[in-house]
Amino acid sequence: MTDVVVVLGSRFADLEAIGTRWAAVVAAWRDDPRVGRLDVVDYPRFGRPSLSEQPSWIDGVHSWSLHVAGRRASSPVDALLWRATGRVVRRALGTSEPLAVAATPLAVPLLAHLTRGPTAFDAVDDWRHLGPAQPVAHRIEAGYAAARRVGAVTAVSETLAERLRDDFGLKVVVEQNGVHLGAHTTPPAASLPVLPEAPFAVYLGSVSDRVDLDLVEAAADAMPVVLAGPVQPELHDRVASGPLLSLGVVPKRAVPALLARAAVGLVLHHVDALTRSMDPMKLSEYEASGLPVVATALPGLDSRPGVVTVMTPSETRAAVLAAAAGGRRAVPADLAHRDWPAVADRLLTRYLASA
């Protein structure tokens, strides 16, 4: 058995309700017989180096809050500060040469100071184009560059993998996001908010500046649109005053029941450097539930069965009506490859082999 430490790109507590890649992988690894002790560390903040344990929503998984030595701005002594932080973490965890995984480029320079065992970096989106990460942009670049010294590097999409190969010389293997297929085969009973009586389209996930609200509102001209996810504060007024029904965060166990009630799934993102690097988890959720999908032209989406891509409001309105009229679709056969337990198993196998 191997102890495992994962440094997340978010707060672990936030993942209890929201379905994400690393919430699913951590839950699967907790039950994997190859894993001994499993520690997850929140997205690192800067200041005086410290590691403090916090409540965990998964039994058997230890959750920690991390402060990294130094400031958000890069410094000539960063290498020394990462080393100091590594000593603090190793002393607190007491693990012996664990597998150390970074799920954010920000934490990659820390890996070498956590273990002499296997190390891995999982690239989830291109953080160079992630708005909230811009205050630490230099550290993001340094983190990607430091991944050249990591044992295994994975990425969620071929577009992102190509960028990391070209820009940083990384050897990257693509491992796309997954879906809990069994949850959609027989959706668990779940309490849902009041939903439209008429057929409706659904957008699953955070409503942020990556979402093309002009197109989402155009979809609402064709049929009711339900938003199932947190709304970025800057967009609250527009969403609240417009034609969209916002449910806020829908607990992940209730998502299959919500999608079973919907008629169309929406992936209406702006097409830019960030969204082209992504592998939208919502697409697999829609496909697993048999929903037809209307999406903007992001890489790979137009080749998926049941997905219609659009560019304009008029195209969106027409596509949503046509998709709803066509009814539900068969679950794509290749989705079995993306069942979360299978994805988590492949990631762990690859990472352990990198030693």
Q: Which residues contact 69 (CB under 8 A, 6 or more apart)?
A: 46, 47, 48, 49, 81, 82, 84, 85, 88
By the 8 A CB rule, do 44 and 7 touch?
yes
Average pLDDT score over residue span 17-34: 95
Mean model confidence pLDDT for the chain = 94
Q: What is the pLDDT of residue 8?
A: 96
Could you give the percent of the chain with pLDDT greater than 70? 99
Q: What is the pLDDT of residue 95?
A: 81
Least confident of 54-58, 142-146, 250-254: 250-254
Q: What is the pLDDT of residue 74?
A: 81
Task: Summarize pLDDT for 70-94 with one digit per residue, the tens.
Answer: 887 888 888 889 999 999 999 999 8
The pTM score is 0.94
Q: What is the pLDDT of residue 194?
A: 86
Binned at pLDDT 50, 70 and 90, residue 152 comes out as very high
Q: What is the pLDDT of residue 77?
A: 84
By the 8 A CB rule, do 206 and 232 touch?
yes
Task: Summarize pLDDT for 213-260 with one digit per residue, the tens.
Answer: 999 999 999 999 999 999 999 999 999 999 999 999 998 889 999 999
Least confident of 15-19, 195-199, 321-325: 15-19
Least confident of 70-79, 103-112, 207-216: 70-79
Domains 2-178+339-352 and 181-334 alike in fold: yes
Has domain 2-178+339-352 been given CATH number 3.40.50.300? no
190: pLDDT strictly greater than 80: no
292: pLDDT strictly greater than 90: yes
Average pLDDT score over residue span 303-318: 94
Q: What is the pLDDT of residue 298?
A: 93
154: pLDDT strictly greater than 80: yes
212: pLDDT strictly greater than 90: yes
CA distance linking residue 236 with residue 239, whole number of Å:
5
DSSP 219-244: HHHHS-EEEES-B-GGGHHHHHHSS-
187: pLDDT strictly greater than 90: no
Q: What is the pLDDT of residue 75?
A: 80
What six digits make up the tokens of 31?
Answer: 């039950």
Q: What is the pLDDT of residue 133?
A: 85
DSSP structure class, residue 117: S
Q: What is the pLDDT of residue 193?
A: 84
Binned at pLDDT 50, 70 and 90, residue 96 comes out as confident
Q: What is the pLDDT of residue 191?
A: 78
Average pLDDT score over residue span 197-207: 95
Q: What is the pLDDT of residue 17?
A: 87
CA distance linking residue 40 with residue 101, whole number of Å:
10
Q: What is the pLDDT of residue 263?
A: 97
Q: What is the pLDDT of residue 131?
A: 86
Distances (CA, A) of 313 to 265, 291, 316, 320: 16, 21, 5, 11
188: pLDDT strictly greater than 80: no
By the 8 A CB rule, do 274 and 214 touch?
no
Return the CATH class of domain 181-334: alpha beta
Element (H, E) at 24: helix 21-30
Domain limits, the chain: 2-178+339-352, 181-334
Binned at pLDDT 50, 70 and 90, residue 280 comes out as very high
